[in-house]
Structure formats: C-alpha cells, structure tokens
Amino acid sequence: MGAAVFLERIRVVEFAQYIPGPLAGQILADLGADVVKTEPPGGEPMRRLGPPGPDGASALYALVNRGKRVLELDLKAEEGVAAFAALLENADVLLESYRPGVLARLGFDDARLDALNPRLVHCALTGWGRTGPYAGRAGHDLNYMALGGGLAASGPAAAPAISHPPVADHAGASAAAVAILAALVRRGQTGTGAHLDVSLMESVLAWQATALTLAARGAPPERGQALLNGGAAFYNVYETADGGFVTLGAIEAKFWAAFCDAVGRPGWIARQAEPLPQTELNRDVATLFAARPLADWCARLDPVDCCFEAVARLDSVAQHPHVAARGLLREQQSVVETLFPLLVDGAPVAERAPVRMATAADVLADWD
C-alpha cells in the first residue's frame, strides 16, 4: 500500500496563504487526501512573491500548492459564501491560516462550522494562537522564532542568525498536519470533529524544552558556546582554503579519535574533554581546515567513519549520489520538487500534479 492512499477519501478544504497552511495541506495531499485550496478573486499574495515562472506564479506558490485543486471564491459575496458552506458540509477537514476572527467575520465562526458539519476537523494554524494577548498581533517567521526561543542560542556569538528556510513556518505546518491526523483518528472512534488551535510560535517553543530547562538551572546555552551550537570543536562548521565549508559532528569519542588520526593530529584526541567553549581547539581545527581546499578534505575524510560531511551547494545537491539513489528529488516543468520524506514499502510517494484550477461545482460534483 502506497502513501498516496493512506488518506484516500479524506476531503480537505484549505483556506490559507503563504507557507504554513499550504504546506500543511500539501502534507495531507501527499498522504492521499483530496485537498481543495480556496483563494480570493485574483489569487493569494504568494502567487506574486518572487519572480514569476512559466505559469505566471512564483516558484514558492507553484511548489507548495502542487498536488491540489485551487478555486477562487469571493467570501464577501453571497454566491461565494454559499459555495464555501457547501464545501464545508461535505469536507472532513478545514485547514485555515488567517488571523483569529477572520472566519467569524466572514460568517463561519465555530458554532456555524459545528452546525454545518459536526464531523468536521477544523484546524486554525495562526501565528500566536487563537487566545492570549498576542492573538491578533501581526508576525512572520522571524518574529515567531524570536519569541519562541528559536533564535536565542542560534548563530555566532555576535548575533542570532536567520535560518533558511523559515523554521517556524515549516514546524507549524508539520504540527498542524500531525494534529489533524490525530483528530481524524479520534473522529473515527467517536464520530465527532474538533477545533484545533496550532500556533507557529508554539511550534518553535515546543522544541525548546532542553534550552529552557538549562536556563532555569542558571546555565542557558549561549550562542557559540554550547555543545551543539558552536562551542565544541568536534561539532562545528569550518571553512576550507578555497571558500568551501565542511561540517564535523564527531560527538562520540570514537569518531573524534578517527578524525584526529586521519588528519595526523593524534595529540588532539584527549582534548575533546576540554571545557566548553573550546575556543583554542576550535581555532586549531579551523586553522587545519583552512590550509587545504574542499576537495582535498573530502578525499581524505569521506572514507573515514568520523561524522564528516561537506556543505553541499544548492546547485549540486541533486547530483549527490545518495540524494539521487533515494529518489525524493525530482526536476520537472521548471520546478525542482522535493517529495514528502517517506518511502512506503520501499517506494517514495507519488509525484505531485501541478496546481490545477477548479470550480466549486466541479469539486462538489466529485464529492457527491
């Protein structure tokens, strides 16, 4: 059984824009759901966020909405409201990612949703959550990372670093998809739907338990000084003589020893136990890597079992033999598509169809 049939016959109405909601919807589509994305007349803003492709839409829009049908509805007009209500009556899931209160102002508050379809799983994916003093506050990924703890310990000592791609958007999308799947399981047992409140900020916050615990104990992980953020010489990023970069993740003593022996520095083996931050050892290892070009280091260390890996350029990832062997990256129709990271019975999920425009009548006829 392939992943494309896991959610067969599950109908999803996606009322979302930009990355988080559409990405959550795409995860459900990858797993077999029929996802219908509704947009205002003229389309959502992400269609125009970046240079247009052959179809006139930005790459980000074209990628995150593949595998779905898209229909434009004017929810400020009687006809659009009626079509949206009909879709919800027949749907299993409503996935929305606007600020709290938007659906209610359009006439679809929680009570109306329950009346239309008591089996509906309604997931509200918002920036800060549906309640609390920040519920209506504007924000984007960088803001959610800032409050949720995602930036405090990330980056060099001088300043936090912006992550790419946006972490909160992707974490929130994954959390929303998981919550929806769990709610569908419960609905299968009880017959009732649910109202799910997932926030992008808290999707980041949920990953900060260790850092918060260390902070509560008086030893927060400072940027560039802790084990996993640059303080350890055996777990760091280093520049090579020709401007390339390599990673070393030799946390276990056996890997560090293998690295030290391979580069002719057996005297460094005992230095792994030096207290953090390992400023001097970091400098020594950086000097070592800076003495030779990237290709030399790959030739020497790729065969060594020491958790070494070069930082791949984006224009070379597709050609990497391991990436090619796994088959989860496809280039077609002017886009490079990364499939859902899952193999089922040894095979990847199906390639996504391009974005397809539809009408409410078409969708309702299929769902009848």
Question: Does residue 111 sit in the same domain as residue 250?
Answer: no
Q: Which of 30, 34, 92, 169 is catalytic?
A: 169
Q: Is residue 222 part of a domain?
A: no
Question: Does residue 128 sit in the same domain as residue 247?
Answer: no
pLDDT class for 4, splitting at 50, 70, 90? Answer: low
Question: Does residue 246 sit in the same domain as residue 353?
Answer: no
Question: Does residue 33 sit in the same domain as residue 155?
Answer: yes
pLDDT tens string 96-135: 999 999 999 999 999 999 999 999 999 999 999 999 999 9
Give percent above pLDDT 70 in the chain. 99
pLDDT at 24: 98
Q: Which of 140, 197, 284, 296 is catalytic?
A: 140
Q: Is residue 95 part of a domain?
A: yes
Question: Does residue 287 sit in the same domain as residue 249?
Answer: yes
Question: Does residue 171 sit in the same domain as residue 251?
Answer: no
Question: Does residue 122 sit in the same domain as residue 175?
Answer: yes
pLDDT at 3: 62
| Total domains in the fold of the chain | 2
Q: Is residue 13 part of a domain?
A: yes
Residue ending a domain, among 262, 284, 310, is 310
pLDDT tens string 250-276: 999 999 999 999 999 999 999 999 999
Q: Is residue 329 part of a domain?
A: no
How many beta carbons lie within 10 A of that of residue 42, not counting itself?
A: 10
Active-site residue flag, 110: no
Q: Is residue 289 part of a domain?
A: yes
Question: Does residue 141 sit in the same domain as residue 62?
Answer: yes
Question: Does residue 290 sit in the same domain as residue 173?
Answer: no
Question: Does residue 305 sit in the same domain as residue 349?
Answer: no
Domain that holds residue 296: 235-310
Q: Is residue 1 part of a domain?
A: no
Question: Does residue 286 sit in the same domain as residue 361?
Answer: no
pLDDT at 51: 82
Active-site residue flag, 140: yes
Q: Is residue 31 part of a domain?
A: yes
- The CATH number for 287's domain is 3.30.1540.10
Q: Is the pTM of this model over 0.75?
A: yes
Question: Does residue 38 sit in the same domain as residue 77?
Answer: yes
